Chain A
Amino acid sequence: MANVLGAKIKELRKEKALTLEQLAEKIGSGKSYIWEIENKGVKRPSAEKLAAIAKALDVTTDYLIDDTQTEVSDDLEKEVFYRKLGQLDKGDQDRIMDMIDAWSKK
């Protein structure tokens, strides 16, 4: 599953030319904490930390967590083997379904 939150934070941080240390300092955490959120996507920050990150990056918390990712539909889950699709962009999901449909009708 794509780490959308982490990618967003990294992009915004780099736009503001902040180092890991500088952002970490602003939100009162270690730099490895930021690195893991950005790159590993395993740690879901607490609401409090998320608000601090949003503030430091001059965006809203909603902007950070809102994305166009949607749960993969049952139809697609049925067809695709051995891929933990998790969440997919709706457009990508439609394209994949179209591709499978086109092949199925051959």
Chain B
Amino acid sequence: MPEKKFPHKEANRITKFLDLGFNGSDRFPVDVKKVALELTPEFNKDPITAVDGNSIGKSVDGMLVKHPTKEEWAIFYNTDVVHPGRTNFTMAHELGHYMVHRPVLNKTKFECGEEDMLDENQQGIDIEAEANAFAANLLMPNHDFRAQADGQKFSIDLMQHCANRYGVSLTAAVLKWLDFTKKRAIGLLSEEGFMHWSKSSNSAFRSGRYFATKKNCVEIPEFSLAAEEQYSAEARNGVRHGPDIWFPGEEVIEHSIYSEEYGKTLTILVLDDAGGYSDPGDFSEDDELLTDSYTNFINNGQNPY
């Protein structure tokens, strides 16, 4: 059984090379195509030899394919997906499968056949979530993200700056910020009054502030800005709500951006540093909630970019 590969570690390996090879303005956004074509042959006897876009309808964003006869791989991405940040994330996601899952699952498949691969997934290795973690860390390395965001007050402008710098969507930048921030904060995407997904920062989660969107159909509070489903600069820049709008007895600052194009609202709730409660009994369930927002998204046929 080959050694289990960790998405963060694999992303960091590439990050170190890129940090050495580039400086200043050339470093970001990461050119995923170039990384795949130029770096994978350096370290692997079965490199990626093609990264090609094509029109493949609405069904898939991208895929990793093995050559039928040669020891080579290809990443194909869908050019019908128009947003560049999303394409970049898709390519990085497929590269994640190559780096993290190819050595492990390929061997398993070789030895035990396809059903075992499925079993392994059912035992809790969520390869889609792992590929997303790889992509987020490759495109937005911790050290650089920290340099951009550390000590700064949350704002959509700050998130937009990060999204532009890394060539990712605003949503991807927000999810990264939630991974990184010490503040209690929650991101969520809603449509017609219900949440598609939600992700809490660690400290928000530990204080019991989260929405269990995977298990339940969670409604948006009636008097929130998200419920209005229209764009306003005021909502974008953040509005402080009194207690009991979002959470009992607790004030929050709500930033909401409604997208006319998608009919969806991206909301970030920033909570004060104290407050909430802690319920250690919930932790195991919640570790899952913390990590699966990307996956929820994908399972719902939407992607976090």
Contact = CB atoms under 8 A, between A and B. Distances in A.
Interface of A: 1-3, 19-20, 31-32, 35-36, 39-41, 79-83, 85, 88-89, 91-93, 95-96, 99-100, 103-104, 106
A79 B65 contact: yes
A80 B192 contact: no
Contact of A81 (B97, B194, B196, B217): B97
Given A41-B301, A81-B97, A92-B57, A104 B63 contact: no
B57 A81 contact: no
A96 to B, nearest CB: 6
B225 interface: no
A92 B58 contact: yes
Interface majority SS (helix, strand, loop, mixed), chain B: mixed
Contact of B50 (A2, A31, A39, A103): A103
Nearest to B194: A35
B193 interface: yes
Contact of B58 (A2, A32, A96, A99): A2
Contacts of B217: 32, 35-36, 40
Nearest to B100: A82
Contacts of A35: 192-194, 217
Interface stretch (B17-25, B68-76, B136-144): B68-76
A3 B54 CA distance: 23
B219 interface: yes
A37 to B, nearest CB: 11
B192 A20 contact: yes
Contacts of A82: 63-64, 97, 101, 105, 127, 131
Given A20-B193, A39-B196, A81 B59 contact: no
